[in-house]
Structure 1
Amino acid sequence: MTTAPDHLDVAAYVLGILDADEVEAFENHLTECRRCALDLRDFAVVPDLIDEADAGGMLRGTAPERPDGKSVRVMLDAVAARRKRRRWFVAQGVAAAAAGIVAVTAVVTTLVVGGGDSNQAAPENTTPTSQTPVANNRNEASMKVQQQDPGSGVFTKIAAEDTPSGTAMDIEVNGMTGPGRGSLVAVGRTGRVAQVTSWFAPEPVAGDSKTIKLQANVAMRWHEIATFRIVDENGKTLLEVVAS
């Protein structure tokens, strides 16, 4: 009996590894899953790239035995697990200024910083856009900004901290209508643009306004960032926030 398809079947489907029953099940799943439809669009170029690489003069030899669907699913599960572990290590490494790699999907709480033995929290400013530098126990600057766009209804709160590798951020996003992908982009004072993180906004549920909570790191100093932008999957700006 064929099991229900999962999101990791997208790559296997594009590569033609699924059997006939699995293909039929996945295509039925695809009509109801916006996330898989978006992923399928991203994966669609892979077969052409493989064909181009083969036509470009790669050495030909005996073709390896084609793996079955179960083996591919095991490999894809392993890749997903490695990515999850990598995101966890990056998130943990933010406090120690590990590396400037984007970290997605981590729990965020209001940033609390103190100096010495003080347990006081950084003051919260309720104005539409706010920034409050605070000295923490590593003598680094900590900043907060928050703003809502009256047109799109998208709201964000960013608590940022300078690190040796750039800027670490705790991010909250609310009011983005799904399903679809969203991204947070940092625009530097010199015009440099860097994607900080991205997420998938689920289908909205009546009466339920979910807040998306993320933790990320960008290889730009806070004072080098002019604005933050939240954009949808088509590149449309839903919210722009002045950083400093």
Structure 2
Amino acid sequence: MRSLERHRDVGAYALGVLDEAEAFRFEDHLMECPSCAVQVTEFGPATRQLMLYRSATPRPVHPMAQPSPRMLDRLLTQVAGRRRAGRRRLLLALAASVVIAVSAPAALVLARGGDGPRPLTVEATDERSGVWAEVTVEDRDWGSAVELRVKDAAGPRACVLVGVARDGSEDVMTSWAVPRHDARPNTIPGGSALHSDDTVRYEVRTTEGETLVTLRPE
């Protein structure tokens, strides 16, 4: 395939729709084309959103299915009810804060302890590969938001961050292309259907399956 056609495969490669042979040939092209490497990284957010949509959509449901009017009515009713409940909780919280501020200022410190859990941050350096990585994970209702910082001077190469669950299943959280001989830290956003409590380790791998660094939460 000609070089121009290879450039056109960037989107298909980033979305994972190329067959194994075409993906292998595109990765060879990727090693010699900084422009495509940058575009693969730019496709990362769109790829992750599609991945999250796929994981949140039941398999029997057609991807382009539309809700019925009755379902929309029920959803709107539920949203309105939650908003009313939220306003009531806010008023109760404000009233309670006034009472606490007047009667026991020290209790305010205890009240602040009710905030959600702090983001999980774990880092590691692999002595063999020389790759350093830091993963910050913040749980969400749908899974977890992920931010990866990585230093890898052995590029160019395409990499992925994989979360390994307690049951042994794996989830690709983000992907990117390492620039040629660039040891500066790169920050890549990502997402996963896994929560931090469900994940026993995070692995930075090449797309060929080589593990570059493993990060284990304490």
Q: TM-score when scaled to structure 2? A: 0.51
- Structure 1 pair 85–193 and aligned structure 2 pair: CA distance change class (3 A): closer
Partner of 1:139: 116
- Note the aligned Cα RMSD (angstroms): 3.9
- The equivalent position to 1:237 in structure 2, one of 203, 207, 211, is 211
Partner of 1:169: 146
**What stretches of structure 1 of length at least 5 have no aligned partner?**
12-29, 39-80, 91-98, 103-134
Amino acid at match of 1:192: S
Partner of 1:222: 196
Amino acid at match of 2:137: A
- Higher relative contact order, chain-length normalized (CA < 8 Å, sep 6+): 2
Aligned length: 137
2 CA distance for matches of 1:6 and 1:140? 48
SS at match of 2:119: strand
2 CA distance for matches of 1:34 and 1:188? 34
- Structure 1 pair 172–136 and aligned structure 2 pair: CA distance change class (3 A): farther
2 CA distance for matches of 1:31 and 1:158? 25
SS at match of 1:100: helix
Partner of 2:166: 189
Partner of 1:160: 137
- Structure 1 pair 32–141 and aligned structure 2 pair: CA distance change class (3 A): closer
2 CA distance for matches of 1:224 and 1:183? 19
- Structure 1 pair 7–137 and aligned structure 2 pair: CA distance change class (3 A): farther
Q: CA deviation at 1:8?
A: 3.9
SS at match of 2:171: strand
Amino acid at match of 1:215: P
Partner of 1:33: 32
Please state which structure has a larger fraction of its residues in helix: 2
2 CA distance for matches of 1:136 and 1:176? 42
Identity %: 19
- Structure 1 pair 215–10 and aligned structure 2 pair: CA distance change class (3 A): closer
Partner of 1:100: 52
2 CA distance for matches of 1:6 and 1:136? 56
**What stretches of structure 2 of length at least 5 have no aligned partner?**
11-28, 55-111
**Is the CA contact 2:7–2:36 (under 8 Å) kept in the aligned structure 1?**
no
Q: CA deviation at 1:150?
A: 1.0
Amino acid at match of 2:131: V
Deviations 1:122-162 (A, max 9, x none): xxxxxxxxxxxxx9985134211011011111000111111
Q: CA deviation at 1:10?
A: 4.3
